[in-house]
Structures are given as structure tokens and as C-alpha cells.
Structure 1
């Protein structure tokens, strides 16, 4: 299914980019900007963003890596940060 009509990006393109980024760096935080860059594109009008985000979130490999979860809460417990 075409997600971004401006650039012809499909849901399969998004899934492939997310999987590729996760395989290349398991600790990376996947963002829409990184997905666009991985596909060699730039966001244009932004009309696709809700569907783009839904497609990213539907990927099995999209989630935040375990080692990066709750970092803000951990820093507070250790007395670091606000």
C-alpha cells in the first residue's frame, strides 16, 4: 500500500527500512526522519505522517531496545538529572 504519495513510499519500504536499521544497529532509536533518510527521501507535505507512523509501529522490530527503556526514570533514581 502506498503511504507517501509525494515520494511513492510503500508500507513495505517502511518495514524494510526499519528492519535494516535494527539489523545494522540493534540499539538505534528509529524515527520517521531516519526512515526517510534510509530510503533516500525527505519528508515533503507531511500529510502521510499519521499513516507513516502507523506503518512504522506495525513493524515487529520497531520497539525501543530494552537497554534504552526507562532511562529517564533510572537517572532520577541515581540522582542524575532533573
Structure 2
């Protein structure tokens, strides 16, 4: 499944990058930026980030997740958002 349409990154590529980084250094903290760098690509619009993070969460090789992946979203906590639309893009 294509996760990032801008850079054509699939879920299989994300999982392979996580496994590769984990094999190279078991103690490393894996972030989306490191995955983009490992794949030789750069984030473009940021619209894929929720799906990108969800794909990372479901990878068994991730093991130690950084706080951004462990934390619940503000909506799940009942805290109102900042008024952004759901389709908000990072420029």
C-alpha cells in the first residue's frame, strides 16, 4: 500500500527501513525523518504523516517507540484541537 503519494513510499519500504535500522543499531530511536533519510527521500506536504506514524506503530521491529508514537492524540484525551481542519497540511 502506498503511504506517501508525493514520494511514492509504500508500507513495505517503511517496514524494511525500520528492520534495517534496528539491525544496524538496536538502541536507535527510529523517527519518520530517519526513515525518509534511509529511503533517500524527503517529506513533501506532510499529509501522509498520520498514516506514516500508524504504519510505524504496527511494525513489530519498532520495539522502542519515541513519545510521538506512544502518545494519544488530543482528541482521544478530550482536549479540543486548535481549530485546524482535518486535512491540514504542513507547508
TM-score by length of 1: 0.77
Q: Distance in 2 between matches of 1:11 and 1:57?
A: 12
Note the C-alpha offset of 1:48. 0.1
Q: Distance in 1 between matches of 2:53 and 2:63?
A: 12
Note the C-alpha offset of 1:33. 0.2
Based on CA coordinates, which of the two structures has the bigger radius of gyration? 1
Could you tell me which residue of structure 1 aligns to residue 8 of structure 2?
Answer: 8
Q: How does 1:47-66 map to 2 (within 5 A)?
A: 47-64=47-64
Note the C-alpha offset of 1:63. 1.9
Structure 2 gap segments, 5+ residues each: 66-91
SS at match of 1:3: strand
Q: How does 1:3-42 map to 2 (within 5 A)?
A: 3-42=3-42
TM-score by length of 2: 0.69
Q: After TM superposition, where is structure 1 displaced by more than 3 Å over at least 4 residues in a row?
A: none
Q: Distance in 2 between matches of 1:52 and 1:36?
A: 10
Q: Distance in 1 between matches of 2:42 and 2:15?
A: 17
Root-mean-square deviation (Å): 1.1
**CA contact 1:57–1:63 (8 Å) conserved in 2:** no
What is the aligned residue count? 65
